[in-house]
Amino acid sequence: MESIILLLSITLMYSTPLVFGALGGVISERSGVTNIGIEGMMVIGAVAAATASYFTGNPWIGFLAAGAAGALVALLHAVASVSFAADQTISGVAINMLAPGIALFACRFFFDGAAMSPIATKLPGAVFGNMSINITTIIALLFAVIMWFVLYKTKWGLRIRAVGEHPAAADTLGINVYRVRYACVLVSGMLAGFGGASMTIAIISQFTQTAISGHGFIAMAAVIFGKWHPFGAYGACLLFGFTQALVVVLGGGNFIVPSQILSMLPYVMTIVVLILFVGRSVAPKADGVPYVKGSR
């Protein structure tokens, strides 16, 4: 029983960064912009959170700094993919190369050439018996609900979905496609930044080079698996968080499988899930297609 609660608690913990990343993916792709740069934005968020939290002693400032830093990097992606109609995959990849460079540079700059930050103040959590839940887990759930409400119950959501499905149609009705996409990509970066923060100032308490290792891409897989729906993505992240929890729980004990092989589990699981679900999940029609005024 105890180990089940432990597993559940670790699952929630490890799924939280993924949830933020996946929600970022949902909002961006719903507006028609593929955001492969989620990973890079999470890395930036991770370093910003740890640094700001360390220097101010206030983890909430770290959390907000992470969102702002993620959004700033997302601005680059928005400029490239919305204004310049660039190849969104290349732009995202470039951001994924740029971000670790910036993160490490900043880390070494602030912490005397060290590739990892000192221990920073963590965000608070609540303990229920054997179960501990960090506040970020609750914020993530809250964001999922808010995003669902915005996307499906408000006019902004209607417009975002319209822009992601048929931008020319939205344009003819006077909806500014570029503005909607800019906003969604920026929000996407902010959420990814929060995701990075919930790794470095909630799960662990410092920035390291491998703090974010493929989480952004797993989050993207969760977007597909979750059919571009906030709740679907949330559920998918729980599954992926569970596999990571398994790695942590089993890796610590005397399990027969070598730890290196066990570490592959989340990545293998992602591929398996994609094989099973990718064909049944339909992306927004204009996802990844730059909108150029006048072309249809």
Q: Which amino acid is at 193?
A: G
Q: Residue 89, interface with another protein (CB under 8 A)?
A: yes
**Residue 220 makes contact with another protein by CB under 8 A:** yes
Q: Does 263 bind another protein (CB under 8 A)?
A: yes
**Residues 60/226, Cβ–Cβ less than 8 Å:** no
Question: Residue 5 Cβ, how far from another protein at the closest point, in Å?
Answer: 28
Q: Can you tell me which of 8, 68, 175, 183 binds another protein, judged by CB under 8 A?
A: 175
The piece of 2-10, 50-58, 100-108, 136-144 that touches another protein (CB under 8 A) is 100-108
Buried b (16+ CB within 10 A) or exposed e, 213-246: bebbbbbbbbbbbbbbbbebbbbbbbbbbbbbbb
Tokens of 2: 């105890």
Residue 205 DSSP one-character state: S
**Residues linked to residue 128 through DSSP beta bridges, in sequence order:** 131
User: Total residues contacting another protein (rule CB under 8 A)?
Assistant: 69
The footprint of another protein on residues 27-56 (CB under 8 A) is 36, 39
Q: What is the CA radius of gyration of the chain?
A: 19
Q: Exactly one of 97, 119, 126, 131 binds another protein (CB under 8 A); which one?
A: 97
Selected binder of another protein within 6, 7, 102, 248 (CB under 8 A): 102
Per CB under 8 A, which region of 4-12, 126-134, 180-188, 253-261 contacts another protein? 253-261
Give the three-class secondary structure for 40.
helix
**Do 163 and 97 form a contact (C-beta atoms < 8 A)?**
no
Tokens of 213: 């290792």
d(CA 118, CA 192): 22
CB nearer to another protein: give 119 or 268: 268
Contacting positions for another protein (CB under 8 A)? 36, 39, 76, 80, 84-87, 89-91, 93-95, 97-102, 104-105, 108-109, 113, 153-156, 158-159, 161-162, 165-166, 168-175, 209-210, 213-214, 217-218, 220-221, 224, 258, 260-261, 263-264, 267-268, 270-271, 274-275, 278-279, 285, 293-294, 296
